[in-house]
């Protein structure tokens, strides 16, 4: 696959599953680079429909072998589809048209640039979003691809502001990030997750170590020194790669970019960062978001140094304004709205550590508000492997609603764990927990529990976000705003 030649020749690139967040983002970047992009997906409507229509990228809302022709220079498919079930993939193979999965195409694209892969079990989407926001403010020649919609990206997942650097969110699942070609890796966190593929901590840590060893000679590993797994991973990479620069960030007193003079209150966090003289302000809650910001700032400093550009006072002021205005990305402490005096939020946190840090951040940030949380666990294997940790993750919430486990298509239910079992265990550790198997079954009881001044937040990788939207709509109708 010669992505550079395809772009130069304005070749046809066809995306199977083009409405997916990553797929749509890569389609946009290739479209802007000059390739002729088209694709296909289901009739389901996503935010990406509007993006594709705005870019005038044509796509079918069905999968049919007649859509595949010899005119395609490359066909990129979502990992959600396989040739034995998707007729377009089967036809591409029959015709001998080059067919690659999204992560391999992203990897090939990254080889065209001085690239940075943002990686980690937690925080990679927000860190990528903040990094892109700051890089754009600093007017550095960069393209950015995040794994979610980012408000400061104009409601999209990409930034196209140059052709020298590329910053992309890269995923560890099934070793997908091993297709990427990084000069830099920004590592936020490493701990046990994706137990269906990485059954032990050592196995997932091994994948991150392997990724780090892909950094080009003279490149850099920027890692969270507060995260034990990230620090351990950095140490293991360093044993074999003395030709790479290692830059730690965090509250840890021994790291290069140390966070200092941190305070939070009045729904704002303020901090300084060693090596980048400025007083930063952030209006997205959580100590973990401050850490993500520090990692993003470290990356901006690294790229600016490569450009031999000092971050002068005017540039820092622009970056400071951009960070202060940053409002997050979709499903990352996303504010759905406020009604009836209640703030409605949604968050993708689906790992015990992410749940715990997100709720603690909300409690610290919104000190006068009561927190009511709904959580839907995703995958039986993750729930079973981290059962005790999940049950103990809700300390900072005042009231908790739990639901059935949201099943994954990639695993079969073994009967070993249920949402009800997680509820029973959580009840022994938290004094105010309720269970509603189907998320919308919690709608009626919650209308009697929520009060003005509360925060209601749905959490997880399941579909309980529908509960947040339904509650918000209910209170808007009560106010006559629906």
Q: For 179-198, what is each residue's pLDDT tens digit? A: 999 999 999 999 887 777 78
Q: Are 37 and 30 in contact (CB under 8 A)?
A: yes
Give CATH for domain 3-101.
3.40.50.720
Segment-wise mean pLDDT, segments of 10 residues, the chain, 482 residues: 91 96 94 96 89 94 96 93 95 96 96 97 92 97 91 89 96 88 97 80 95 98 97 98 98 95 89 97 90 98 95 96 85 82 90 90 88 93 90 96 84 77 96 95 96 95 92 87 58
Give the whole-angstrom CA distance, residue 120 versus residue 227.
10
Give CATH for domain 334-478.
3.90.190.20
Predicted pLDDT of residue 235: 97
Predicted pLDDT of residue 409: 63
CB-based burial of residue 46 (10 Å sphere; 0-12 exposed, 13-18 middle, 19+ buried)? middle
Predicted pLDDT of residue 366: 87
Which residue intervals of the chain bear CATH 3.40.1190.10?
113-325
| Stated pTM of the model | 0.81
Tens of pLDDT, residues 59-78: 999 999 999 999 999 999 99
Which residue intervals of the chain bear CATH 3.90.190.20?
334-478
Predicted pLDDT of residue 400: 97
Which residue intervals of the chain bear CATH 3.40.50.720?
3-101
**Residues with Cβ within 8 Å of residue 96, at least 6 apart in sequence:** none
For 447, phi then psi, to 5°, come to -65, -20
What number of CA atoms fall less than 13 Å from residue 470's CA on the CB side? 16
The CATH number, out of the four listed (3.90.245.10, 3.40.1360.10, 3.40.1190.10, 3.30.465.10), of the domain defined by the range 113-325: 3.40.1190.10
């Amino acid at each position: 696959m010669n992505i550079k030649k395809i772009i130069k020749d304005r070749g046809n690139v066809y995306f199977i599953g083009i409405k997916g967040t990553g797929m749509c983002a890569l389609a946009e970047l290739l479209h802007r680079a000059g390739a002729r992009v088209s694709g296909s997906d289901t009739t389901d409507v996503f935010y990406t429909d509007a993006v594709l229509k705005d870019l005038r990228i044509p796509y079918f809302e069905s999968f049919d072998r007649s859509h595949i022709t010899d005119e395609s220079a490359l066909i990129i498919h979502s990992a959600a589809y396989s040739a034995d079930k998707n007729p377009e993939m089967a036809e591409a193979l029959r015709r001998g048209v080059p067919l690659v999965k999204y992560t391999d195409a992203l990897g090939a694209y990254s080889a065209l640039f001085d690239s940075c892969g943002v990686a980690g079990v937690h925080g990679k989407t927000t860190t990528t979003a903040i990094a892109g926001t700051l890089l754009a403010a600093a007017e550095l020649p960069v393209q950015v691809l995040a794994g979610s919609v980012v408000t400061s990206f104009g409601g999209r997942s990409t930034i196209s502001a140059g052709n020298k650097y590329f910053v992309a969110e890269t995923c560890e699942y099934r070793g997908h990030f091993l297709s990427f070609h990084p000069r830099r890796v920004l590592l936020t966190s490493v701990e046990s997750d994706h137990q269906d593929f990485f059954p032990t901590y050592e196995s997932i840590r091994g994948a991150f170590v392997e990724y780090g060893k892909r950094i080009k000679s003279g490149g850099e590993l920027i890692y969270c020194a507060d995260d034990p797994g990230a620090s351990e991973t950095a140490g293991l990479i360093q044993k074999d790669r003395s030709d790479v620069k290692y830059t730690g960030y965090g509250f840890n007193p021994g790291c290069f970019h140390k966070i200092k003079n941190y305070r939070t209150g009045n729904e704002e966090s303020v901090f300084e960062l060693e090596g980048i003289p400025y007083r930063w302000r952030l209006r997205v809650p959580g100590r973990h978001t401050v850490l993500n910001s520090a990692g993003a700032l470290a990356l901006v400093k690294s790229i600016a140094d490569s450009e031999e550009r000092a971050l002068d006072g005017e540039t820092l002021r622009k970056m400071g304004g951009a960070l202060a205005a940053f409002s997050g990305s979709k499903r990352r402490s996303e504010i759905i709205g406020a009604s009836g005096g209640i703030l409605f939020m949604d968050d993708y946190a689906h790992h015990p550590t992410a749940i715990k840090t997100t709720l603690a951040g909300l409690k610290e940030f919104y000190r006068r508000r009561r927190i009511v949380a709904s959580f839907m666990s995703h995958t039986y294997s993750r729930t079973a492997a981290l059962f005790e940790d999940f049950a103990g993750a809700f300390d900072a919430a005042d009231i908790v609603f739990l639901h059935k486990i949201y099943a994954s298509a990639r695993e079969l239910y073994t009967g070993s764990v249920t949402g009800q079992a997680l509820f029973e265990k959580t009840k022994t550790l938290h004094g105010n927990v309720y269970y509603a198997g189907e998320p919308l079954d919690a709608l009626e009881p919650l209308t009697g529990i929520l009060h003005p001044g509360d925060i209601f937040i749905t959490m997880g990788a399941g579909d309980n976000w529908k509960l947040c939207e339904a509650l918000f709509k209910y209170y808007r109708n009560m106010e006559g705003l629906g």
